[in-house]
Amino acid sequence: MNDNELMLSVKQGDQTAFRELYDRYYEYAVRVATIVLRNQSSLALDAVQEAFIRMYRSAASFETSQSFKPWFYTILLNECKRIAAKHGKLIAVGEEAMKAMETGGRDQHAFEQYEELYEELQRLEEHNRIPIILKYMHDLKDQEIADTLGENLNTIKSRIFKAKQKLRQRLQTSFGGGEG
């Protein structure tokens, strides 16, 4: 069954379908929450658990014409923001969060090689940083990011473009490079 079919079953009260979605997305959701909550693993776990609870409770509002993944990540990101605000934590990407991703994601590169990149990524404003994370670390399409964040597609494209420009400029400066 695909995700949308499982959500249709969850809407009808199927606990097994909920468990299947939980098993499919738990580790991935933990990695996202860990990055967004700056490696506050206990807060990330809380956000993930709350997101799954809210997903279950909101199953009736899920439209099968939409894609599950962006819908779920909207819930997860909202939980991360709520928990961050409650605990006074800044939402950022931390070095340790990136190392945590190393063991579970598709990208098996040694993240230590990219330390400078992730430091600069942390310095981006949240409205630029989150779309970059969702696009390049979690393979969401621009439209899925827009849906997840409740923003216009052109706004997301602009934020990603500006974030990439800022990162490029800062990294060139850091490495003593000029234009090129």
How confident is the prediction along the chain (180 residues), in pLDDT tens digits per residue? 899 899 999 989 899 999 999 999 998 888 888 877 776 778 889 999 999 999 999 898 888 788 888 889 889 988 888 888 777 654 444 333 334 433 444 443 444 445 667 677 777 887 888 888 788 776 788 998 888 888 899 999 999 999 888 888 877 776 655 544
Q: Could you state, in order of their start, the residue ranges of all structural domains in the chain?
A: 3-174
Q: What is the CATH number of domain 3-174?
A: 1.10.1740.10
Q: Are residues 32 and 73 in contact, defined by beta-carbon separation less than 8 angstroms?
A: yes
